[in-house]
Amino acid sequence: MITNTLNDGQLVALYLNGNEGGFEVLIERHQARIFTSIHLIVKDRYIAEDLRQETFIKALNTINAGRYNDEGKFQPWIMRIAHNLAIDHFRKNKRFPCIVMEDGSNIFNTLEFSEAPYETIQEQKDTKNKLLAFIQELPEVQREVLVMRHYMEMSFQDIAESTGVSINTALGRMRYALINLRKKMIKNKNAYDQNIYPK
Partner 1 sequence: MPMTKTFTQNDLIRYLYDETSLEEAREIQLAILCNGSLQEEYNNLNATKLMLDELLETGTSSSLQSSRSKV
Residue 42 in contact with residue 96, Cβ under 8 Å?
no
Q: Which of 10, 70, 172, 188 binds partner 1 (CB under 8 A)?
A: 172
CB of residue 90 vs partner 1: minimum separation in angstroms?
Answer: 17
| CB under 8 A, 24+ apart: contacts of 65-69 | 68/12
Q: Would you give the binding string for partner 1 spanning residues 40-79, x where CB under 8 A is met?
A: x----x--xxx-xx--xx--x-------------------
CA distances from 78 to 27, 44, 54, 122, 176 (A): 10, 20, 11, 33, 27
- Classify 139 as helix, strand or coil: coil
The interface with partner 1 within residues 27-46 (CB under 8 A) comprises 27, 31-33, 35-36, 39-40, 45
189 touches partner 1 (CB under 8 A): no
Residue 106 in contact with residue 100, Cβ under 8 Å?
yes
Close Cβ partners of 161 (under 8 Å, ≥ 6 residues apart) = none
Question: Cα separation of 46 and 170, whole Å?
Answer: 30
User: Of 131 and 141, which has the nearer Cβ to partner 1?
Assistant: 131
Q: Which of 6, 13, 131, 133 binds partner 1 (CB under 8 A)?
A: 131
Q: What are phi and psi for residue 106, nearest 5 degrees?
A: -65, 140
CB of residue 198 vs partner 1: minimum separation in angstroms?
Answer: 27
Q: Please tell me the count of residues contacting partner 1 according to CB under 8 A.
A: 42
128 touches partner 1 (CB under 8 A): yes
Binding site for partner 1 (CB under 8 A): 15, 20, 23-24, 27, 31-33, 35-36, 39-40, 45, 48-50, 52-53, 56-57, 60, 127-128, 131-132, 135, 146, 149-151, 155-156, 168, 171-172, 174-175, 178-179, 181-182, 185
